[in-house]
Amino acid sequence: MRRGWGCGWNRLGSVRWMWAFTMFLVGLCWGGLPWEATAQVPRIQGQGTAASAMSNAYAAQADDPSAVHYNPAGMTQLSGVQVMAGALIAGGSTNFTSPTGATARGDRNGSAAWPPPGHTFITANLKDLGVTALGDLTAGIGLTVPFGSLTRWPNDGPFRTATTFNTLPLLDIKPTLAYKATDNLSLGLGADIYTFSGLVGEGQVEKQSVWPGGLGIPAGSKVELSGKDTAAGFNASLLYTALRNTDGKPVANIGIVYRSQATLHLSGALLANGAKVSDAKATLVLPQVITGAIALWPVRTSEREWKLEMDVDYVGWKSVRNLDVTLANGVTIPQPQNWKSTYAVMLGTEYKWLVLESLPNWEVALRAGYTNQQQQMPDLTYDPGIPSSDLHIVGGGVGFICKEQGSFLGLMRCGDFGVGSLKPKAIGLDLSYQAAFYEDRTVLGNRNPTVNGTYRTTLHTGGVSIRMIY
For residue 29, the model assigns a pLDDT of 28
DSSP state string for 415-429: GGSSSGGG--SEEEE
Please give the single-letter amino acid code of residue 128: D
For residue 407, the model assigns a pLDDT of 84
In a domain, 90, yes or no: yes
More confident residue, 436 or 210: 436
For residue 282, the model assigns a pLDDT of 85
Contact 286, 233 (CB under 8 A): yes
Cα(365)–Cα(348) distance, rounded to whole angstroms?
Answer: 13
Query: What is the mean predicted confidence (pLDDT) over 211-215?
Result: 76
DSSP state string for 201-245: TT--EEEEEE--SBTTBPTT-EEEEEEE--EEEEEEEEEEEEEE-
Contact 49, 431 (CB under 8 A): yes
Widest Cα–Cα separation across the chain: 75
Alpha helices in 230-362 (DSSP H): none
More confident residue, 405 or 216: 405
For residue 148, the model assigns a pLDDT of 65
Cα(124)–Cα(397) distance, rounded to whole angstroms?
Answer: 27
Nearest to 26 by CA among 202, 248, 238, 256: 202
For residue 22, the model assigns a pLDDT of 26
In a domain, 18, yes or no: no
3-state secondary structure of 49: helix
| Mean of the per-residue pLDDT values of the chain | 82
In this predicted structure, the answer to whether residue 397 has a pLDDT above a threshold of 50 is yes
Residues in the chain: 470
For residue 204, the model assigns a pLDDT of 65
In this predicted structure, the answer to whether residue 325 has a pLDDT above a threshold of 60 is yes
For residue 16, the model assigns a pLDDT of 32
pLDDT tens digits, one per residue of 404-438: 888 877 778 888 887 877 888 999 999 999 999 99
For residue 271, the model assigns a pLDDT of 84
pLDDT tens digits, one per residue of 91-145: 788 888 999 888 888 775 433 334 456 789 999 999 999 898 888 999 999 998 8
For residue 9, the model assigns a pLDDT of 33
Query: What is the mean predicted confidence (pLDDT) over 190-196?
Result: 91
Q: Residue 197's pLDDT band (boundaries 50, 70, 90)?
A: low
For residue 109, the model assigns a pLDDT of 45
Q: Residue 160's pLDDT band (boundaries 50, 70, 90)?
A: confident
In the DSSP assignment, the letter for residue 288 is P
* Residue-range definition of the domain harbouring residue 396: 25-469
As separate numbers, helices (DSSP H) first and strands (DSSP E) second, the chain gives: 2, 27
In a domain, 253, yes or no: yes
Contact 391, 372 (CB under 8 A): yes
For residue 74, the model assigns a pLDDT of 97
Do the strands 222-228 and 5-6 form a parallel or antiparallel pair, or are they unpaired?
Answer: parallel
Cα(64)–Cα(454) distance, rounded to whole angstroms?
Answer: 41
The b/e string for 55-86 (b: 16+ C-beta within 10 A; e otherwise) is bbbbbbbbbbbbbbbbbbbbbbbbbbbbbbbb
Q: Please tell me the total count of domains within the chain.
A: 1
For residue 245, give the CATH number of its domain: 2.40.160.60
For residue 276, the model assigns a pLDDT of 86
Residue 231 backbone dihedrals phi, psi, to 5 degrees:
-140, 160
Query: What is the mean predicted confidence (pLDDT) over 66-71?
Result: 96
CA distances, 148 to each of 4, 128, 171, 258 (Å): 16, 36, 8, 20
Residue 292 backbone dihedrals phi, psi, to 5 degrees:
-120, 140
Contact 258, 36 (CB under 8 A): no
More confident residue, 90 or 132: 132
For residue 331, the model assigns a pLDDT of 83
Q: Which residues pair with 264 in a beta bridge?
A: 284
Nearest to 3 by CA among 227, 327, 161: 227
Cα(435)–Cα(3) distance, rounded to whole angstroms?
Answer: 33
Q: Of the given ranges (9-23, 197-211, 242-256, 318-332), which has the lowest mean pLDDT?
A: 9-23
Give the predicted TM-score (pTM) of the model.
0.84
In this predicted structure, the answer to whether residue 176 has a pLDDT above a threshold of 90 is yes
pLDDT tens digits, one per residue of 177-187: 999 999 999 99
End-to-end, the C-alpha distance of the chain in Å comes to: 46
Query: What is the mean predicted confidence (pLDDT) over 271-276?
Result: 84
For residue 203, the model assigns a pLDDT of 59
More confident residue, 263 or 45: 263
Contact 326, 35 (CB under 8 A): no
